[in-house]
Amino acid sequence: MSAAPVHLAGERLMLDPEGGLFWPARRVLAVADLHLEKGSAAAVRGSLLPPWDTRATLDRLAGLLRRYRPERVVALGDSFHDDRGAQRLLAADQARLAAMTASFRFVWVRGNHDPSPPEGVGGESCAEFRLDGLCFRHEAKPGPALGELCGHHHPKAAIPTGGTVVSRPCFVFDHRRLMLPALGAYTGGLDIRDHAIASLFPRGGRVFLLGRQRLFSFAFAASRPAPAPA
């Protein structure tokens, strides 16, 4: 696994092929959109999905913690799929998460799926988190923002290659703003060409697609307005 460095607001950040971000200077690990207990949220509605999504997501998180040994973990919101998610955690998952928050300083940035602080899992909760020149928030604030790290949109990119199209979750970056891919095991993606994402990167930038061993980097051009609606 090799991480790729980028510079945002003068800070050097490492992008991890698993979808996390590490800030070596302050030993901060950032992850976005864990959507823990999305599986049980579906079960409540009658779709009995395999109940291991939380475990799978925590496995990924644990891998990142082992690799970077951060001082602080910032979860960029939508950490739980809904406000009752933390209460639905299975005992084993709950204990595992509690052990993580006991060993590392966890900051739960609140998201639209989890507007209230999670109960019984430790860590602190805030609407957004600032450190030095960087601001960690769930949803990007429209307009130019220097040093913003965000999640929310679950970006993915589709690359035409070899007669087909390969689509993967990705980081989106333009030297001012960095959007992280979703880390949750059951989280889907939104194409970066979607207006919701493209409008946040009006001058274009780079995408970093997640791969098995490394990231794959591509430039994307500035967005032009779509043809006028009918």
Partner 1 sequence: MFPAVKLPDGFVNWLAHRGWALRPHQARVLAAAGQGRNVLLIAPTGGGKTLAGFLPSLVELQARGRGGLHTLYVSPLKALAADIARNLVAPVSEIGLDIAIETRTGDTSAERRRRQREAPPDILLTTPESLAVLVAGADAPSMFAGLRRVVIDEVHALAGTKRGDQLALCLARLSVLAPDSRRIGLSATIAHRDAIAAYVAPDARPDGVALVEATGGAAPEIGMILPDGRLPWAGHMGLFSAPDILARIRDARTTIVFVNTRAQAELLFQELWKLNTDTLPIAIHHGSLEMEQRLRVEAAMAEGKLRAVVATSSLDLGIDWGGVDQVLQVGAPKGVSRLLQRVGRANHRMDEPSRAILVPANRFEVLECEAAILGVAANELDGDPPRPGGLDVLAQHLLGLACSAPFLPDDVFAEIRRAAPYAALTRRDFDDVLGFVENGGYALAAYDRYRKLFRDSEGRVHVMNERVARQHRMNIGTIVEEPLLKVRYRGGALLGEVEEYFANMLTPGDTFMFAGRLLRFLRLRETVLEVADGGTGEPKVPAYAGGRMPLTTNLADRVRRMLSDPGTWGAFPEPVREWLALQRGVSRLPGPHDLLVETFPRGDRFYLVAYCFEGRNAHQTLGMLLTRRMERAGFQPLGFVATDYVLGIWSARPPHDIAALFDQDMLGDDLEAWMAESSMLRRTFRNVAVISGLIERQHPGAEKTRRQVLVNSDLIYDVLRRHQPDHILLRATRADAAGGLTDVARIALMLARAKGRVRHMALSRVSPLAVPVLLEIGRESVRNGEGDDALLAEAEAALVAEATGEADPPPFIQTDRPKPARDRRQGRLLV
- Cβ neighbours of 41 (radius 10 Å): 21
Write phi, then psi, for 109 (nearest 5 degrees): -75, 135
Residue of 11, 52, 84, 176 interacting with partner 1 (CB under 8 A): 52
- Residue 55 interacting with partner 1 (CB under 8 A): yes
**Among residues 124 and 194, whose Cβ is nearest to partner 1?**
194
For the record, the structure tokens of 79 come out as 């950490």
Helices (H), the chain: 38-44, 53-68, 85-88, 91-103, 195-198
- Residue 79 interacting with partner 1 (CB under 8 A): no
- Residue 204 interacting with partner 1 (CB under 8 A): yes
Nearest to 74 by CA among 108, 41, 37: 108
- Cβ neighbours of 71 (radius 10 Å): 11
Give CA–CA dist 9/40, Å, rounded.
39
- Residue 44 interacting with partner 1 (CB under 8 A): yes
**Among residues 82 and 128, whose Cβ is nearest to partner 1?**
82
- Residue 223 interacting with partner 1 (CB under 8 A): yes
For the record, the structure tokens of 12 come out as 């050097």
Give min distance, CB of 3 to partner 1, in A: 16
Say how many CA atoms lie within 13 Å of 23 toward its Cβ: 24
Stretch that binds partner 1, among 18-26, 121-129, 142-150, 193-201 (CB under 8 A): 193-201
Give CA–CA dist 21/14, Å, rounded.
6
- Residue 61 interacting with partner 1 (CB under 8 A): no
Stretch that binds partner 1, among 5-13, 121-129, 148-156, 173-181 (CB under 8 A): 148-156
Give min distance, CB of 64 to partner 1, in A: 18
- Residue 68 interacting with partner 1 (CB under 8 A): no
* 3-class secondary structure, 167: strand
Residue of 43, 98, 126, 131 interacting with partner 1 (CB under 8 A): 43
Residue of 26, 69, 141, 193 interacting with partner 1 (CB under 8 A): 193
Stretch that binds partner 1, among 24-32, 126-134, 142-150, 161-169 (CB under 8 A): 161-169
- Residue 141 interacting with partner 1 (CB under 8 A): no
| DSSP 3-state percent helix, strand, coil across the chain (nearest 5) | 20, 35, 50
Give CA–CA dist 11/147, Å, rounded.
9
Binding-site ranges for partner 1 (CB under 8 A): 35, 38-40, 42-53, 55-56, 78, 90, 112-113, 152-154, 156-168, 185-196, 198, 204, 207, 209, 211-213, 216-224, 226-227, 229-230
